[in-house]
Amino acid sequence: MKTWTEIHSAYCVAKEGTVSKAAEVLGVHRATVNRHIETLEKQLGVRLFIRHRRGYHLTEAGQEFFSVAGRAHDILDDFAGRVRVQSSELSGEVIVTTLFPISNVLMPAFRSFRHAHPKTRVSLLADVALLKLEHAEAHIALRAGRKPENEDYVVQPYCQLRFGLFAHTSYLEKQGTPRDLDDLAHHDFVGNPRKRSSAPFEAWLADNVQSDRVVFRTADALVLEQAIKGGLGLGFLPVAGSEAQTDLYQIGPSLDEWTVHVWLVTHVDLHRTEKVQAMLSCLKALEF
């Protein structure tokens, strides 16, 4: 490998027939090609070419060299082609972190990403803990509330996700249907009431519903949805996707204060990588 440049130049001369043509193909001066040939012949201890006015003819050793170098060239060319194909197919893991209430509505984006890039894996970490992108704990974060402030982050506004108060028809058949949002005092609720929650509807639940009326508590969005559909009580769900379900009934309008402002956050060092950009494209294609 110490003389690979010289080998490549000599192979090009043998293939093209003249130093001038080889120099043109290689994009170097003909003197450079001549120097490469002289260096290689000196190191090998044999003459590879017979020089004459019409060009360079291969010696017996040169013909053997041309055969060996040609096979090496074909092998390397095939390798380069396979690398180009592999690099065009995304693979490996993409880690996305978000809050539980948002995670449900992201599934269509993950499905699109996997369909377009079947060699990839998606890990969704839905937790109230804010994972640190600078420590490579995640590639993409969807964060709710105030805009994240970190000079190493690329922060983009993502969506305003509307939440509404929903009940399953099985609950309403037994407990009756509230006339409006002022008619909730005697109804049961499911959810995760927290006064300082980054999810505004959880803060609303803590401020406006008596603690003993929250009969089922969970921070898991999937479990919460199952609890609502199981008829345990009223609870908050994203309006997108929930209003179209015939067995769910929205109680009153969706208040502005229940809207979750969501930000797309990536680390500046990973923002332009192909996997991150591909996932961001799928996430941005969602409609809310």
Pairwise pLDDT comparison (7 vs 135), residue with the higher score: 7
How many domains are contained in the chain? 3
Residue where a domain stops, chosen among 65, 88, 111: 88
Q: Are residues 242 and 267 in the same domain?
A: no
Q: What is the mean pLDDT of residues 175-179?
A: 91
252 & 269 share domain: no
Which amino acid is present at 256? D
Q: Domain limits at 252?
A: 163-258
pLDDT in tens, 105-121: 889 999 999 999 998 99
Mean pLDDT of the chain: 86
Which of 79-88, 97-106, 171-180, 185-194 comes out lowest in average pLDDT? 79-88
Q: Are residues 120 and 190 in the same domain?
A: no
Residue 62: per-residue pLDDT? 86
| Residue 52 sits in the same domain as residue 133 | no
Across 152-177, average pLDDT: 93
pLDDT(274) > 80: yes
Residues 269 and 193 reside in one and the same domain: no
User: Which tokens belong to 90?
Assistant: 């995304």
Per-residue pLDDT, averaged over 263-283, amounts to 90
* Cα distance between residue 126 and residue 98, in whole Å: 5
Give Cα separations from 264 to 110, 139, 145, 148, 279 (angstroms): 15, 11, 12, 10, 11
Q: Is the pLDDT of residue 50 over 70?
A: yes
98-to-22, 41, 77, 155 alpha-carbon distances in Å: 57, 63, 44, 14
Backbone φ, ψ for residue 151 (5° rounding): -65, -15
Q: Which of 129-143, 167-181, 258-272 has the highest mean pLDDT?
A: 167-181
**Is residue 177 domain-shared with residue 212, that is, in the same domain?**
yes
- On the question of pLDDT at 23 being above 80, the answer is yes
Query: 85 pLDDT band (50/70/90 cuts)?
Result: very low
Q: Tell me, what CATH number does 116's domain have? A: 3.40.190.10
pLDDT higher at 163 or 105 = 163
* Same domain membership, residue 132 and residue 270: yes
By the 10 Å C-beta count (0-12 exposed, 13-18 middle, 19+ buried), 151 is classed as exposed
Pick the residue with more confidence: 237 or 135? 237
Residue 227 shares a structural domain with residue 190: yes
Mean pLDDT of 255-281: 89
